[in-house]
Amino acid sequence: EAGVTQFPSHSVIEKGQTVTLRCDPISGHDNLYWYRRVMGKEIKFLLHFVKESKQDESGMPNNRFLAERTGGTYSTLKVQPAELEDSGVYFCASSPSNLAGGRTKANEQFFGPGTRLTVL
Amino acid sequence: GENVEQHPSTLSVQEGDSAVIKCTYSDSASNYFPWYKQELGKGPQLIIDIRSNVGEKKDQRIAVTLNKTAKHFSLHITETQPEDSAVYFCAASSGDYKLSFGAGTTVTVRA
């Protein structure tokens, strides 16, 4: 089974520009999460989708960040306009619903390789 | 919200020795504690997890212990091998799906 994929792997932009990150979760996973790791610190939660609905967006830093998951499949995270402090690695993760059963443990989240964003 | 502290930030061990990473958490409602391993160029991968109704869990060379009273949990890696070199993250969750992570421990296994 294909894992979580993210695009691009790296992005270098100038302050004030716009960047859009994409995440393709594991097929069939209803839950999709965005996290961010800044400057070697902890990985911080940004938001959680259940299908196409935002379940929890308490970690979104400010209104320059916009996440969407149209159709409940892939998700995009747009930063507009980007600031220097937005630099970091953005991870996407997915998990099935608890009702899905199967071999996956409840709460287990599968992470993508991340997008390294550098704002100059 | 939940606050997870992780120590040490770096750990260097001789191949064959044991490695121990410790984490503390603040939210007494947390009931799920996963550990993730991140290798270079890859995303974090779950290696072991423990729930609040269990005090200890083992999977081959790795084990995790949980002390709910003291709000701390630890990862133990025995007989370390070069492929254990990676960044390890502890995390905690209260069941609402959101994971709160520690800052990570960079483990280096010296051959």
pLDDT digits (tens, 9 = 90+) for B11-42: 999 999 999 999 999 999 999 999 999 999 89
- Residue A100, classed as helix, strand or coil, is helix
Give the integer Cα–Cα distance in Å for A70 and B9: 39
Q: Of A30-44, A77-91, A98-112, B85-99, where does mean pLDDT reach its minimum?
A: A98-112
Give the closest-approach CA distance of A42 to chain B in angstroms.
4
Contacts 24+ apart (CB under 8 A), B61-66: B62/B35, B64/B33, B64/B35, B66/B33
CB B80, CB B17: distance < 8 Å: yes
Give the integer Cα–Cα distance in Å for A92 and A97: 16
Give the integer Cα–Cα distance in Å for B69 and B76: 20
Q: A56, B97: Cβ pair inside 8 Å?
A: yes
The pLDDT score that the predictor gives to residue B54 is 79
For B76-92, the DSSP string reads EE-S--GGG-EEEEEEE
Q: B98, A48: Cβ pair inside 8 Å?
A: yes
Whether B89 contacts chain A with CB within 8 A: yes
User: Is the pLDDT at A19 greater than 60, yes or no?
Assistant: yes
User: Is the pLDDT at A102 greater than 80, yes or no?
Assistant: no
* Consecutive H or E run containing A11: strand A10-13
Report phi then psi at B52, rounded to 5. Answer: -70, -10
Nearest to A111 among B41, B43, B93 (CB): B43
Q: What is the mean pLDDT of chain B?
A: 94
Query: Average pLDDT, stretch A55-76?
Result: 94
Burial class for A39, CB neighbours closer than 10 Å (0-12, 13-18, 19+): exposed
The pLDDT score that the predictor gives to residue A98 is 64
Q: What is the mean pLDDT of chain A?
A: 91
Which tokens belong to B54? 């269990």
DSSP B16: T
User: Is the pLDDT at A104 greater than 70, yes or no?
Assistant: no
Question: What number of helices (H) and strands (E) belong to chain B?
Answer: 0, 11
How large a percentage of chain B has pLDDT more than 70? 100
How large a percentage of chain B has pLDDT more than 90? 87
Residue B103: band (very low, low, confident or very high) from pLDDT cuts 50, 70, 90: very high
How large a percentage of chain A has pLDDT more than 70? 92
Q: A109, B32: Cβ pair inside 8 Å?
A: no
CB A15, CB A82: distance < 8 Å: yes
Which chain A residues are Cβ-neighbours of B36 within 8 angstroms? 111
How large a percentage of chain A has pLDDT more than 90? 82
**Chain B CA closest to residue A35:** B99
Give the integer Cα–Cα distance in Å for A47 and A76: 12
Pairing of strands A75-79, A110-111: unpaired
Give the closest-approach CA distance of B105 to chain A in angstroms.
10
B52 vs B106, which has greater pLDDT?
B106
Residue B52: band (very low, low, confident or very high) from pLDDT cuts 50, 70, 90: confident
